[in-house]
Amino acid sequence: MARSGALRLLAGVRDGLSLSDQAGALKALSSADQARAGRLAGAVLRHNARADAVIAGYVSRKPSPQVADILRLAVVELLELDSAPHGVVDAAVSLTRGLGQKGQAASGMVNAVLRKVSAHQGWADLPPQPMPAWLREPVAAAYGEEAAQAIEAAHQAAAPLDLSPKPGVSVEGAEPLPTGSLRLHGPVQVSALPGFAEGDWWVQDAAAALPARLLDPQPGERIADLCAAPGGKTLQLAAAGAQVTAVDINPARLKRVAENLRRCGLSADLVAADALDWRPDAPLDAILLDAPCSATGTIRRHPDLPFLRDGSGIPALIDLQSRLIDHALSLLPPGGRMVYAVCSLLPDEGEAQIAAALARHPGLTVEEPALPGADPSWITPEGGLRTRPDFWPDKGGMDGFFMARLRKAH
């Protein structure tokens, strides 16, 4: 059942749907099979090109998309996940026959190919799934070819589970990270972890936790979290004692923020509005702007992203980011501070945005980050902070982010 669910998810990605948008495709499965289907689909997407390279050595012509997905799934199970060959091959043949008349005709080929694949050598020597050209070219230009390859390796390795704890909270079995987050490795059922029901922590990648720490919220400060959903940064600000207004254009996503606030015993004012139109009722001390972006820094946890996007929307995102920066700065009093952040690997969405903002706003300054646990090499010439998936390779990496703390002139 989990395998058929994984194939439904892969077909959905081919049709332009993200994995997270396809919960309905797995409704008939048990919770355990839903989780396994998601893991299998993610593994296939992370190893798609490697699986295709193996399959190409054993077929005389390109299989149909449905059969190709079955073969990829089986190859990844056999060579990456070390599943028992007999069960994998039998399941793949059965799934192929279930495709109808054309599947019946292809089942013999699938059986023959996978029996050979089960003895295949050299899987570990194949290069990782490459980033698409629209992303790889600017990444390699910005950070170098060696870094681009390391980022691809980090994407293939997937992401552990990171938690942002309330002050003084620890979680049994979790690795404390230098920047203050906690990390768990291997499959984890989040709701079964100690401290979940008590609201002691929330799920948030270690890099995603840095912008709120860079803002350095103080008790009683009035802070706006613009483009706030899914809400991890709102929770950080509230846990620090700030008076938080979380603004997001999507009411449904704000409901998730509200649920996490309730679970964690924290409070914030939630406003469903376009951040470009919103203005506060009273003066603000600070703003956290986690702007809409290409999300290219999150591929290690969203392996479907490279299959869904072609880079064509980035110019519009860059324009939106610039307008959001300008609007957010207009909401701050003289001397107010703002952190701008994007979960993107592209300098045009990060470093270049800060350079352009400084040119547009005389007197605006960048305050060099001084974050506990952050490597000094992460600091950019502009005074921002750049994280990448290939950082902390011995610990499991982190998402790609750019962030900078800006100060308005007095």
**Residue 133 resides in a domain:** no
Note the pLDDT of residue 220: 97
Domain membership of residue 151 (yes or no) is no
Give the pLDDT of residue 172: 86
3-state secondary structure of 401: strand
Q: Are residues 248 and 99 in the same domain?
A: no
Bridge-partner residues for 290, per DSSP? 341
Residues in Cβ contact with 188 at an 8 Å cutoff, skipping those fewer than 6 apart: 161
**Given this model, what pLDDT does residue 315 score?**
97
- Helix (H) or strand (E) segment spanning residue 79: none
Question: Please, are residues 208 and 343 in contact by the beta-carbon 8 Å criterion?
Answer: yes
189 and 265 together in one domain: yes
Q: What is the pTM of this model?
A: 0.94
The residue out of 80, 100, 125 marking a domain boundary is 125
The residue from 125, 148, 177 where one domain ends is 125
Q: How sure is the predictor about 350, in pLDDT bands with cuts at 50, 70 and 90? A: very high
Residue 153 placed within a domain: no
Has residue 377 got a pLDDT over 90?
Answer: yes
d(CA 255, CA 264): 14
Let me know whether 98 and 41 are in one domain. yes
293 shares a domain with 387: yes
d(C-alpha 345, C-alpha 387), whole Å: 8
Same structural domain, 72 and 179: no
In the predicted model, is pLDDT for residue 32 greater than 90? no
CA distance 253 to 297: 21
Give the pLDDT confidence score for residue 370 in this predicted structure. Answer: 85
Of 69, 101, 125, the residue at which a domain comes to its end is: 125
Residue 143 belongs to a domain: no
pLDDT-derived band at 182, boundaries 50, 70, 90: very high
Same domain, yes or no: 215 and 348: yes
Backbone angles phi, psi at 361, to 5 degrees: -125, 90
Known catalytic residues are 343
Classify residue 330: in a domain, yes or no. Answer: yes
Phi, psi of 383 (to 5 degrees): 95, 10
Asked if residue 121 and residue 29 are part of one domain, the reply reads: yes
Residue 150 domain flag: no
CATH assignment of the domain containing 243: 3.40.50.150
> Where residue 100 sits, what CATH number does that domain have?
1.10.940.10
Beta-carbon count within 10 A of 391 CB: 21
**73 and 169 housed in the same domain:** no
Owning domain of residue 76: 2-125
Task: Work out whether strand 182-184 and strand 175-176 pair parallel, antiparallel, or are unpaired.
Answer: antiparallel
211 with 338, same domain: the answer is yes
For residue 158, name the pLDDT band (cuts at 50, 70, 90): confident
The answer to whether residue 137 is domain-embedded is: no
In a domain, 135, yes or no: no
Instruction: Verify that 361 and 225 share a domain, yes or no.
Output: yes
Average pLDDT, the chain: 95
Same structural domain, 306 and 386: yes
User: How many separate domains does the chain show?
Assistant: 2
- Note whether 203 and 327 are same-domain residues: yes
